[in-house]
Amino acid sequence: MQNVLLAVLVAASGLAVFGYLAGLLWQAAAGPILGALERGRLRRFEDLVERGDQALRAGDTPSALRSFASALYLSPARSASFAAQVAKHHTGLLSRFIAASDRRHGENVGVISLAVADRMLRKRKVIQSSYIAALQTGDSGRRRALESELRNNSRQLRKALADLAAEVLANEAPAALH
């Protein structure tokens, strides 16, 4: 009887030590693993931007705008450096929408929609900074509230870019007939 009790006690202790070591290993590995996944996801969105650039150069504005609108990175960033990369990516997207708009021969196409999208991106940057701070402090209640704000901002941002694309396409200059 004592041998069985001792075996159970040793097995439980072994499992506790294994669980503790596994937790330490996960804490050490989680950051780099999640960072690599984030960077890979951003690379896929940057590929969409490149496809949009190619379509814009080929004169296929609708395809270019679809690619640009699809290239929004809407997942919350887990570090300040990655959040800065995402902000740079979004700035590049807005500049591409401006380039598509400028194809309208100098008309002020999409100025209001562009301003709305820019405002949503600036708001997202502020929310994202607060989210990173909440991650660092371990404030799970604040983190959940900010995730909700980020989801709401994502919906608004998608709508703003869809409106901008529709406005640019609605004002597309007709092809010249020769």
Q: How far apart are CA 161 and CA 65, in angstroms?
A: 9
Tokens read off for 21: 């070591």
pLDDT at position 108 is 59
Give me the percent of the chain exceeding a pLDDT of 70.
Answer: 91
Instruction: Give the model's pLDDT for residue 178.
Output: 43
pLDDT mean over 99-117: 73
Cβ count near 98 (within 10 Å)? 15
* pLDDT at 174 exceeding the cut of 60: no
Q: pLDDT tens digits, residue range 31-89?
A: 788 788 889 999 999 999 999 999 989 988 889 999 999 999 999 998 999 999 999 99
Say if residues 154 and 75 touch (Cβ distance below 8 Å).
no
* DSSP tag of 118: H
Length of the chain: 178
Q: What is the pLDDT of residues 132-144, one digit of tens each?
A: 999 999 899 999 9
Does pTM top 0.95 for this prediction? no
Confidence of residue 104 (pLDDT cuts 50, 70, 90): low
All residues at 6 or more sequence positions from 5 whose CB lies less than 8 Å from its CB, including other chains: none
* 105 has a pLDDT exceeding 60: no
